[in-house]
């Protein structure tokens, strides 16, 4: 049904605007950037015959949902409520979506379970991570990643350079492309269904309308899953009006090209500050969308002609006239004729990353630049032929050292291989648009600390005698895991100081702490404790509780290794309090 303001008449419930760094989650609505069409674009997912549910009061939430402790409501819509919750088993905060159980409408729980199934099949940094799903007291719930940050809709409310908009949308599009590669269509893509975390990484969310697509005429098969069930009822429209493709307005099957259309609407909005189809009523909006009547953008927004042409192609009324896939659209966006943009984020950004993060530009055998070759050279500085031979010779010269040599050198070989693989993988993911500049920076900082740990290990092993040799296997075993540098969730909360000078000092202190950890592992606890205490004094002067907490944690662990129980207890307690203050 359509009311006099031109919105679909659905019981949407209260909406909370997204704010700077408040947690947001799938299903939470935020104000639109374009008020000319009322709620046609900012409303949560709409279903034309959806009615208020009866099983859950709009303003009430149970204190617990399954094992999750409910902390506060984040948003509400016609389908249900999204809350911030605590998972006591894994000791983390999550977002939980609870379906309003209308037992007279069996398609509602099916739709929510389908969202869980669709998300569970996706593993991509630009798609929200789902943790659990089930039924509690007759209501279906989904437990998912809690993303501190803002929606793409909130991000778009500030006027931004077109290159910044394109860079972010390349990452967003990578999430949709991953869904399409898994045979999934979102069917309700819009800026409010993209969350941008504090790490700057966007995640596509709210796959409640996602449904597996198959080739025309392909049978469903007898063992169809929930994801295969068609939930669009006769005469119903599913989607958000301002972003719906013409075929969705007509009630036809949505495809990946419908997502291409919705993505192009959002991109137009990001570039020009208004949506391409502006209307006061849904009838007028439908006419404009079906006929491809794009409203002239404001002359104050300067967008290159080649980019404007790409967006307009994505907005073509006929699917066959659009880009044939999301991958094709992203490839077109990545090619900037004026700047000879590299495949995803542009050569200019790559040069910056090369200078700041040690990503080298080499030449492959075919003569083409290899932007991800620098890791091997960096590793060779600390574990190349020279350092490797020096460690091997030093071990062989000591009693029992030759027996340990293969274990120690082999362990460092494997650690170095893992480091090089992670370095190259991070660079390549950045080039594919799967890592933001900020996230790549954090990965490279993490890997640099691991590299300094390797360097410190080789120094200890080739220059020390006796104790260091006996402790050699332990030194290698205690090297910090490379996998933590590939954990996007952990990196997402590892936010450096905003001041560049302070951030550089913090990075240096963290590198020095990594080296001192090696001394503690080698049994040189007095030297380690003295060095960490000096770093702690420098950290106090920075006024950053996170680096102070890290210094206290390292000092506490070194004190444990030295059997200095009281010092260890005091420093570990300080580290806990400072870590809480830094959150």
Burial class (CB in 10 A: 0-12, 13-18, 19+), 415: buried
State whether 322 and 199 are in the same domain: yes
Higher-pLDDT residue of 361 and 528 is 528
Please give the tally of structural domains in the chain: 3
State whether 321 and 371 are in the same domain: no
Looking at residue 582, its pLDDT comes to 66
Question: How many angstroms separate the CA atoms of 417 and 454, rounded?
Answer: 12
Question: How many angstroms separate the CA atoms of 108 and 127, rounded?
Answer: 23
Question: How many angstroms separate the CA atoms of 496 and 504, rounded?
Answer: 9
Residue 202: both structure tokens together: 């966007």
Closest CA to 26 of 203, 163, 179, 157: 203
Looking at residue 170, its pLDDT comes to 94
| Cross-strand partners of 140 | 135
What's the mean pLDDT in 86-98? 88
The answer to whether residue 94 scores a pLDDT higher than 60 is yes
Question: Most confidently modeled of 133-142, 393-402, 513-522?
Answer: 513-522
State whether 539 and 428 are in the same domain: no
State whether 152 and 274 are in the same domain: yes
What's the mean pLDDT in 89-99? 86
Angle of the 437-463 helix axis to the 385-396 helix axis, nearest 10? 30
State whether 463 and 554 are in the same domain: no
Q: What are phi and psi of 251, to 5 degrees?
A: 80, 15
* 387-436 confidence digits (pLDDT tens): 898 888 888 877 766 777 888 888 899 999 999 999 999 888 888 877 77
Looking at residue 464, its pLDDT comes to 65
* 258-313 confidence digits (pLDDT tens): 999 999 999 999 999 999 998 888 888 889 999 999 999 888 888 898 899 999 99
Residues sharing a CB contact under 8 Å with residue 164, sequence separation 6 or more, in sequence order: none
Percent of the chain with pLDDT over 70: 72
- Across the beta sheet with 80-87, what order do the strands follow? 64-65, 68-76, 80-87, 92-99, 139-144, 130-136
Domain that holds residue 364: 357-486
Within a domain: 4: no
In 66-197, beta strands by DSSP E: 68-76, 80-87, 92-99, 130-136, 139-144, 147-151, 184-185, 194-197
Within a domain: 341: no
Looking at residue 469, its pLDDT comes to 63
Model pTM above 0.75: no
Question: Most confidently modeled of 49-58, 88-97, 220-229, 347-356?
Answer: 88-97
Higher-pLDDT residue of 471 and 153 is 153
Does residue 154 come out as left (phi exceeding 0), alpha (psi in the -120 to 50 range) or beta? alpha
Residues sharing a CB contact under 8 Å with residue 495, sequence separation 6 or more, in sequence order: 198, 199
State whether 314 and 379 are in the same domain: no
* 355-388 confidence digits (pLDDT tens): 444 444 343 334 445 778 788 889 999 998 888 9
Within a domain: 348: no
Within a domain: 298: yes
Looking at residue 53, its pLDDT comes to 37
- Tell me which of 486, 517, 550 is where a domain ends: 486
State whether 208 and 330 are in the same domain: yes
Question: How many angstroms separate the CA atoms of 567 and 528, rounded?
Answer: 14
């Amino acid at each position: 049904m359509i009311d006099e303001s031109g919105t679909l008449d659905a019981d949407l419930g209260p909406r909370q605007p997204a704010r700077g760094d408040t947690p947001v989650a799938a299903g939470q609505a935020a104000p639109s950037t374009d008020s000319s069409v009322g709620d046609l674009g900012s409303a949560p997912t709409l279903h034309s015959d959806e009615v208020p549910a009866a099983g859950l009061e709009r303003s009430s939430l149970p204190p617990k949902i399954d094992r999750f402790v409910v902390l506060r409501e984040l948003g509400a819509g016609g389908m249900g409520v999204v809350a911030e919750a605590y998972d006591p088993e894994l000791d983390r905060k999550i977002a939980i979506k609870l379906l309003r159980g209308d037992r007279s409408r069996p398609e509602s729980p099916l739709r929510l379970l389908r969202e869980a199934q669709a998300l569970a099949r996706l593993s991509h940094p630009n798609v929200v991570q789902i943790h659990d799903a089930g039924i509690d007291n007759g209501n279906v719930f989904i437990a998912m990643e809690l993303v501190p940050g803002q929606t793409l809709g909130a991000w778009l409310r500030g006027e931004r350079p077109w290159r910044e908009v394109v860079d972010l949308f390349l990452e967003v599009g990578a999430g949709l492309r991953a869904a399409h590669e898994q045979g999934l269509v979102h069917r309700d893509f819009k800026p409010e269904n993209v969350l941008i975390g504090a790490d700057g990484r966007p995640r596509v969310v709210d796959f409640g309308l996602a449904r597996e697509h198959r080739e025309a005429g392909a049978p469903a098969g007898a063992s169809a899953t929930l994801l295969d069930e068609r939930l669009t009822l006769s005469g119903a429209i599913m989607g958000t009006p301002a972003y719906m493709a013409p075929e969705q307005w007509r009630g036809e099957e949505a495809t990946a090209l419908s997502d291409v259309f919705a993505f192009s609407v959002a991109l137009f909005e990001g570039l020009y500050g208004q949506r391409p189809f502006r209307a006061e009523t849904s009838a007028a909006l439908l006419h404009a969308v079906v006929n491809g009547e794009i409203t002239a953008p404001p002359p104050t927004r300067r967008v290159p002609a080649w980019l404007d042409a790409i967006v307009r192609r994505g907005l073509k009324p006929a699917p066959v006239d659009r880009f044939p896939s999301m991958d094709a659209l992203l490839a077109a966006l990545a090619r900037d004729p004026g700047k000879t943009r590299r495949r995803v984020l542009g050569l200019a950004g790559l040069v910056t990353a090369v200078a700041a993060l040690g990503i080298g530009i080499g030449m492959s055998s075919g003569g083409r630049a290899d932007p991800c070759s620098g890791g091997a050279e960096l590793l060779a500085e600390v574990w190349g032929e020279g350092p490797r031979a020096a460690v091997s010779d030093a071990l062989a010269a000591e009693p029992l050292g030759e027996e340990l040599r293969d274990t120690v050198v082999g362990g460092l070989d494997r650690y170095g291989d893992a480091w090089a693989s992670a370095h190259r993988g991070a660079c390549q993911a950045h080039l594919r648009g799967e890592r933001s500049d900020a996230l790549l920076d954090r990965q490279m900082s993490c890997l640099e600390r691991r590299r300094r740990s390797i360097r410190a290990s080789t120094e200890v092993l080739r220059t020390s005698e006796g104790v260091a040799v006996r402790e050699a296997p332990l030194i290698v075993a205690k090297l910090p895991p490379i996998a933590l540098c590939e954990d996007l969730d952990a990196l997402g909360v590892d936010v450096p100081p905003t001041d560049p000078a302070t951030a550089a000092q913090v990075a240096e202190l963290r590198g020095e702490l990594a080296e001192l950890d090696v001394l503690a592992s080698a049994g040189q606890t007095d030297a380690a404790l003295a060095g960490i205490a000096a770093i702690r004094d420098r950290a106090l002067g920075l006024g950053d509780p996170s680096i102070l907490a890290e210094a206290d944690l390292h000092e506490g662990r070194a004190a444990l290794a030295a059997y200095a129980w009281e010092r260890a207890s005091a420093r570990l307690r300080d580290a806990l309090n400072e870590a809480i203050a830094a959150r």
